[in-house]
Each structure stands twice: as C-alpha cells, then as structure tokens.
Amino acid sequence: MTLASKKVVNIALTSNRDVQKALADIEAARAQFGETRASLFPTLDAELSHTRSKNGGQRPHLVSGSRRRGFPASSWICLARNQSLTRAARETWLASEFTAQNTRLTMIADLTTAWITLAADNSNLALAQDTMASAENSRRIVTRQMEVGTASAGDLSDAESVYQQARASVASYRTLVAQDKNALNLLAGETVPDSLLPGTLESLGDRSITLVPAGVSSSVLLRRPDIQEAEHNLKSANADIGAARANFFPSISLTASAGVGSRLALVAVQPRHAGVVIRAVHQPAAVYRRQQPGAAALC
C-alpha cells in the first residue's frame, strides 16, 4: 500500500460507520457481561430510618424518637444458572471483539478494492481520452483530404463514427471515476481529499500491491476473526443451554440482615420542672411511676 492509501485507511478506521457500530457493540457486550457477572456476588443494601412522635393528654407531654441503621438482604440465587449466564455473556463479549476485527478487515479490503478500481478507471479514462484525441485528429485529416478530393464521404463518415465512439467511452469512464470516488468516500466515512486519491495504475508502482506467497500453511485460517467469532458464538449458545437446564432444578436463596437501633423518650414539662426533666432523661420510667401511682411504666 502507498502512503496515501494508508492515510485513507486511517481516516476510515476513525470515521467508518460500520466500524463505529462494531466498537459500540463491544462496549455494550462488555457492560452486559459486567452486569451478569455481578449476579455471582451477594447484594448489599443500606437502610437508615428515623421516627419521632408526640403524645399529649392528662399525662406529661411525651416526645419519643427512634433511629435505626441496617444492612439487609444479602443473597445468592441459583448459582449454577448465574454461572452459565455469565459464561454466555463473556463469550458474547469475546465474539463482539472478533466481529469488530472482521469489520475492520472487511472495510480495509473493500477500501483497497475501491482504491485500485479508481486507479484502473483513471487509467482507462486516460486511454479513452488519448483515443478520442487520436480519432479527432484522424477526422480532421480526412476532412482536409475530402476538401482536396483525395477522400470520399464514406471515409469521413467512418472517421466521424470512430470519434463519436471514443467520445462516448470518455463520458462513460468519467462516470465510472465519479462513482468510484463516491464509493471511496462512503467507505472512508467522509470526503477523501483530492491529494490522497490515486492516479493511474502505472503511477502506483509494483510495490503497492503485494501478492500472498505460495506455500502458506492452512492453519492461518484458524486465525480468521470470522471463524473465531463463530467459535465464541457457539460457546455462548452452549452456556445458554446450561442456564436453561438449570431452570429445571430448584433454586436456593440465602438472605441475611444486620442492624442497630435506639429509642429515646423525653418528658416535656414547664421550665419550673427543669430538675424533673433532667431526671427524666436518665430515669423516665421511675419519674413517671412517682407522678402516676399504679400506672404502667414507660419502656
């Protein structure tokens, strides 16, 4: 590949829509794997609550409050099924990696083909333009010969026919060149600058196209990304079968919780009973029993 073609490939790797979609699919598969893998670990929730109430009536005003902190609900449910789903998500993620590689290679191959096709059509256009120029020169000569009487009208008609055919070929190859440029821009994901477009095939040189040498081992086929993608998709489907089989068996759930709580009761009275308030903070049940004989003690 020439330096210009390598620059076009780099543009396509960052701007091609198919490549961008493949990279986004990798991120989505990686996120799905992380979410599925999280099911293998226990869940942990935190809880904090606070309540406050005020009671009135014949008794002194009571203001009570309670606070509780807890960490409940840690569980494992059907570990075998979750392991199978995790393996399936992992294989899907790996398959998406090879899908992206396959997309890149396919894009580079299509881009190289479009590049060479444009160079070939440029060569054909240059040849057609030379042919048209030669046919126009021949028509001009025959016209002069006819003026001096050394050529017939049939000779002029033949020369005119050759010129019009060459002119049609030039128009056809110009259309092909424009289509090749549009195809190259589509594969690159943006408009390729004219400075990076190829000339004719002759201007590319012999080193721009490298042939695969003979005697290459067939084991290189195992490194093809589409084959590795198919292998990981097969492993993912096998893991899905394992998850489906796990649904036939009962699931086991383990749940645990822990927490702390506190309760406080205050007797709200007038300011002249400040001493009682202080004692009520430390011994609310004893104070209440002395004020209300026979009444139930506060808890």
pLDDT tens for residues 12-49? 888 888 888 888 888 888 888 887 777 666 666 666 66
pLDDT tens for residues 120-150? 999 999 999 999 999 999 999 999 988 888 8
Residue 151 phi/psi, 5° resolution? -135, 150
Q: Kindly report the average pLDDT of the chain as a whole number.
A: 76
Judge whether 285 lies within some domain. no
Judge whether 162 lies within some domain. yes
Q: Find all residues with CB under 8 Å of 263, minimum gap 6, and list them.
A: 64, 65, 66
Is residue 196 over pLDDT 80? yes
Q: Residue 269 — very low, low, confident or very high, per pLDDT cuts 50/70/90?
A: very low
Pairwise CA distance, residues 168 & 271, whole Å: 112
pTM score of the predicted model: 0.62
Judge whether 68 lies within some domain. yes
pLDDT score at 279: 39
Pairwise CA distance, residues 108 & 8, whole Å: 10
Judge whether 296 lies within some domain. no
Judge whether 278 lies within some domain. no
Judge whether 69 lies within some domain. yes
Which residue did the predictor score with more confidence, 177 or 39? Answer: 177
pLDDT tens for residues 212-248? 788 888 888 888 888 888 899 999 998 888 888 877 7
- Strands 256-268 and 47-55 turn out to be unpaired
Judge whether 215 lies within some domain. no
What CATH number is given to the structural domain containing 110?
1.20.1600.10
Based on the structure, what is the number of domains in the chain? 1
Q: Find all residues with CB under 8 Å of 185, minimum gap 6, and list them.
A: 191, 192
Tell me the average pLDDT across 245-263.
Answer: 66
Pairwise CA distance, residues 105 & 110, whole Å: 9
Q: Residue 286 — very low, low, confident or very high, per pLDDT cuts 50/70/90?
A: very low
The residue range of the domain holding 41 is: 3-203+222-268
pLDDT score at 29: 83
Q: What is the DSSP letter of 69?
A: E
Pairwise CA distance, residues 172 & 167, whole Å: 9
Q: Which DSSP string do the residues of 117-179 spell out, in sequence order?
A: HHHHHHHHHHHHHHHHHHHHHHHHHHHHHHHHTSS-HHHHHHHHHHHHHHHHHHHHHHHHHHH
- Reading the block at residue 27, the tokens are 């991120």
Pairwise CA distance, residues 117 & 120, whole Å: 5
Residue from 150, 137, 197, 203 nearest 4 by CA:
197
Q: Residue 208 — very low, low, confident or very high, per pLDDT cuts 50/70/90?
A: low
pLDDT score at 209: 67
Judge whether 279 lies within some domain. no
